[in-house]
Structure 1
């Protein structure tokens, strides 16, 4: 843990809190889906009634181990911090948050607000060389191999997961979720690159 600066710890924790708030208070409460492992976790919740706070950790563990081998222990430590803190914040909000943000009749503003919030949280975590879980590590690896931006890879991966979400969502909800994913991808790239090159964030 000596490799992790306290500034990075604060950024990861703050980013995880924003991320969990966006997923729970906007997406989950307004029946919007999500891409990546969160989208898979939401699908599992609909079918098996298992909290995303549990499913995401189970999905993350194998890729966190892979990331430690290929990208270094520093990223693995930060990913564990991001994954565990996200799951903890989500579980706490799920059980104790008194806030209800009902935008079910205004899905376009909900999608844009969700994408912006999630993109900020994710960008803060990735900016300091961290990750929230296995899908982040997968995106970082694919970004290095393909030279595509992290945000674009997220967009492609998320679109594939959203197709699966049609099992429990309508086309109407999926289309608005895709708007959220696009806003999230743009926001993530912006936050990562703001006054800081992406490459130095993962050095």
Structure 2
């Protein structure tokens, strides 16, 4: 019984140290903005993504594996890599961010889209969607967390290679988008490329905003 009390006290102390108000607010706000953009802009305009989401669509098309199976498997693999290279603090905040993502998706789905559809203006949809994702994910990544497997994978690549986070995002997104040309029209890929370039830049900008270059580089690693 005494051991359980000690364990409970230790866990509470670690959680209190990890989830300070700034971290919680940033993750909640970031996941709200990200999911709002995905639901109100990307889904209406049918703009695809790179990274894990694009890889899920690619494997589903060519291998016929269900997206409902691919999504948790690829996300879990990314999180395991993140835990190995980024530590348990990353895993704790990322689990919280993932729960927030699911919760906000559920919230938005209770209502019809509140933004006008940009399906007839795919370029503007790509720009708007990239801004929502870039700002939202940037707020989450700034706290050393991940919205989904895409962020975890980019953070691990940045850790291993020493690249800026924007370059790591572009690498994963462009790789998947190039492979996706095997079944997606070039025109649609171009709009997706606009989105990932904008979101990658904004994530990097927000992650390093107001931080000395040396400190920002160290925290990305």
TM-score bracket relative to the smaller structure: 0.7 to 0.9
Q: Structure 1: state its 5+ residue gaps.
A: none
CA distance in 1, matches of 2:59, 2:29: 26
> Does residue 25 in structure 1 map to residue 40 in structure 2?
yes
Equivalent of 1:97 in 111, 116, 138: 111
- 1:42-67 residue CA offsets vs partner (Å, 9 max, x unmatched): 5578877856xx85444212322332
1:189 is the counterpart of 2:189: no
Cα distance between partner residues in 1 of 2:116 and 2:177: 22
Aligned-pair CA distance for 1:69:
3.0
Map 1:54-73 → 2, pairs under 5 A: 56-73=71-88
Matches of 2:152 and 2:88, distance apart in 1: 12
**Aligned residues of 2:56 and 2:70 also touching (Cα < 8 A):** yes
Q: Give the aligned partner of residue 154 of structure 2.
A: 139
TM-superposed deviation, 1:36: 1.1
Q: Conserved in 2, the CA contact under 8 Å of 1:36 and 1:157? A: yes
CA shift, 1:182, in A, is 0.6
Contact 1:33 1:162 survives alignment (8 Å): no
Per the alignment, residue 15 of structure 1 pairs with 30
Matches within 5 A, 1:147-158: 147-158=162-173
Gap runs ≥5 in structure 2:
1-14
CA contact (8 A) 1:126 1:201 kept: no
Worse-superposed segment, 149-158 or 139-148 = 139-148
CA gap 1:139/1:156 in 2 versus in 1, 3 angstroms: same
For residue 20 of structure 1, report the CA deviation from its aligned partner: 1.1
TM-score (norm 1): 0.85
Larger Rg: 2
SS of equivalent to 2:47: coil
